[in-house]
Amino acid sequence: MIMTTLLKVEKITKKFGDLYANDQISFDVKKSEVLAILGENGAGKTTLMNILFGHYTPDSGNVSFEGNAIEFGNTNNAIKLGIGMVHQHFTLAENLTVLENIIIGRQSIFSLSLPKRQARVRILELSKKFGLPIDPDELVANLSVSEKQRIEILKTLFLDCKLLILDEPTAALTPQETDALFSTIRNMIETGLSVILISHKLNEILAVSDRIIVLRNGSSVGEIDTNSADREKIAEMIVGKKIDYPQKKKIPRKSKVLSLTDVSYKKTDAPNLSSVNLDLYGGQILGIAGVAGNGQTTLAKILSGHFKPTQGKIDFEQAKSVHTSPKSFMDLGVAYIPEDRNSDGIVGDMEIWENAIMTELDDPFFRNSLGIIDKKTSFDRSENLCERYDVRKQSIRQRSRLLSGGNVQKLLLGRWLMRNPKIIVACQPTRGLDEGAIASIQKLLLEAQQKGSAIILISEDLDELLTMSDDISVMYKGMLSNPTQTSSTNKLSIGLQMAGDGF
């Protein structure tokens, strides 16, 4: 079979300030092929795609599509040539219907009519052809994440796209929805379309792509045929070094440290909880699975004292009733790794040492005789923390926002681990991190478990939950299922529960 080249990218370079986001990147995409672009966050994947789709103009380099040079910085031109992009954050207007979201952009805005009837016919045709079931007249606000993604794909198909760029398409999907997406992708390939898939989830890439390109620090570090790819080797290419994967060791359960009885949260400021029951024991890792937005964050905030349940009881081993505040929960030994580490975990504009001792300001040990923060002890402690938990920094006087995601997370987790917490509430602790950082964070959590800490691990990554947890519960629409032992469950049944099965 002769493969014709659809897209040719030659020596693309894009600088943001002094930073090379893309440095001399070249590759091509053939007709009817799935090309995966892998890389850590900040490796330059999204920048590269934004250049292809016309959001950014590169500093140098050429891109040609079917032999024609692409005009940079012009999305309209990219769309006309046949490039379609599904952004990681959907670009849909929720107040409009599916049909309206799809047809916009087809006519000039000065045209006097909207050919809705013809469009409906065509959308239904496309939806049938590619196995993307939708109701054209439904309001987008009423759709689930995977349905919204279908519309995004239909939007590009409606504009006759020949090359579809999918940016982290599985980030918010259940395993079943991911499978459905992949079968749609295969459908598209069969009809002669090409797909560029951007992701950092290795397993998925291996399952669906034909070829893989790995980016690291803005440069392309390798190109592999998926057939001959080896998982560990690619992971090393992504990170640039050998990864030390954590090994889980089970330890016997200790005494109960925390229990929630019929805890509900019914307010409008966050997803609600209804009658959540939960028991947690020392040395146990309880995994909580669920699609984002089903109440996991609310639960984490209740467990860390940020939210007060509207109903129900929280009992700690040492104290039957506590005042609800992050501080009093902290004093009882609760450590909280927030979902959004950069906005809720650290203060980016403050220096590393300041962030490192932020939770210790009550401790007279860090103050001098006048009650003022003692720099010497604080610096020592910070250096110690960074060394012990492998926070890679230039100096502890550096502003924290300059750290990479993995190092921010290690700093945060280390800050808590220094206190020997009894309970760790970890909310998406490895989300968005690269393979190397994921391994380090998981290792630190497992070490804490070995020392007897009880850990609640909230995650959307089922592989992580299955390797780390002793027991797994699933959250769905604010309800929490009874925990199942990890050894007696699997991805499929958790995935079904995430979609509402058994609730």
Partner 1 sequence: MIEFIEIIFTAGFWAATIRIACPLILATIGEVLCERAGVLNLGIEGIMSIGAMVGWMTVFLGADLYTGILAALAIGGIFGLLHAIFTVYLGASQHVTGIGITMLASSLGFFCFKLILPSSTTPPKIKPFQPIDIPFLSELPFLGPAFFQHTPFTYLAILAVIFAFWLMNSTPLGLSIKMAGENPMALEAQGIDVFLVRTIAVVLGSALMAVGGAYLTLSAFDAFYFGMINGRGWIAIALVIFASWKPERALLGALLFAGLDAYQVRAQQLAGAVIPYQFFLMLPFLLSIVAMVIAAKRTRYPKALLVPFRRGERH
Rg (CA), the chain: 25
| b/e 395-429 (16+ beta carbons within 10 angstroms → b) | ebeeebeebbbbbbbbbbbbbbbbeebbbbbbbbb
Burial-class residue 440 by CB neighbours within 10 Å (0-12, 13-18, 19+): buried
Least distance between partner 1 and beta carbon 228 (Å): 36
Least distance between partner 1 and beta carbon 148 (Å): 11
From edge to edge, which strands make up the β-sheet containing 19-30?
19-30, 5-16, 60-65, 68-69
- Reduced to 3 states (helix: H, G, I; strand: E, B; else coil), residue 419 is coil
Q: Which is nearer to partner 1, 86 or 446 (CB)?
A: 86
Least distance between partner 1 and beta carbon 371 (Å): 42
E strand or H helix at 447: helix 435-450
In sequence order, what are the residues at sequence separation of 6 or more whose Cβ sits closer than 8 angstroms to the Cβ of residue 34? 185, 189, 194, 195, 196, 197, 208, 209, 210, 211
Q: Which is nearer to partner 1, 56 or 307 (CB)?
A: 56
Least distance between partner 1 and beta carbon 156 (Å): 10
Query: By the criterion CB under 8 A, which residues form the site for partner 1?
Result: 55-56, 75-76, 79-80, 85, 87, 89-96, 100-101, 103-114, 155, 159
Q: Give, in order, the Cα–Cα distances in Å from 84 to each of 49, 145, 177.
A: 11, 19, 21
Least distance between partner 1 and beta carbon 105 (Å): 3
Q: Which is nearer to partner 1, 114 or 402 (CB)?
A: 114
Q: Which is nearer to partner 1, 168 or 354 (CB)?
A: 168
Least distance between partner 1 and beta carbon 54 (Å): 9
Least distance between partner 1 and beta carbon 349 (Å): 19
Least distance between partner 1 and beta carbon 49 (Å): 12
Q: Which is nearer to partner 1, 14 or 415 (CB)?
A: 14
Least distance between partner 1 and beta carbon 159 (Å): 8
| Closest by Cα among 298, 318, 212 to 258 | 318
Query: E strands, 31-135, where?
Result: 34-39, 60-65, 68-69, 83-86
Beta strands 311-316; 285-289: pairing state = unpaired
For the chain, the distance separating the N- and C-terminal CA atoms, rounded to the nearest angstrom, is 50
Q: Which is nearer to partner 1, 89 or 242 (CB)?
A: 89
Other CB atoms within a 10 A radius of the CB of residue 4 amount to 9
Q: Please tell me the distance from the alpha carbon of residue 221 to that of residue 341, in angstroms, as a whole number.
A: 29
Q: Which is nearer to partner 1, 53 or 416 (CB)?
A: 53
Q: Which is nearer to partner 1, 46 or 430 (CB)?
A: 46
8 Å CB contact between 40 and 200: yes
Token duo for residue 375: 């720099």
Q: Which is nearer to partner 1, 110 or 488 (CB)?
A: 110
8 Å CB contact between 355 and 413: no
Q: Which is nearer to partner 1, 93 or 251 (CB)?
A: 93
Q: Please tell me the distance from the alpha carbon of residue 95 to that of residue 88, in angstroms, as a whole number.
A: 20
Three-state secondary structure string covering 337-359? ECCCHHHHHCCCCCEHHHHHHHH
Least distance between partner 1 and beta carbon 155 (Å): 7
Token duo for residue 405: 């995601």
Least distance between partner 1 and beta carbon 101 (Å): 7
Q: Which is nearer to partner 1, 110 or 364 (CB)?
A: 110
Token duo for residue 365: 């040990």
Least distance between partner 1 and beta carbon 188 (Å): 19
| b/e 136-173 (16+ beta carbons within 10 angstroms → b) | beeebeebebbbbbbbbbbbbbbbebbbbbbbbbbbbb
Q: Which is nearer to partner 1, 151 or 454 (CB)?
A: 151
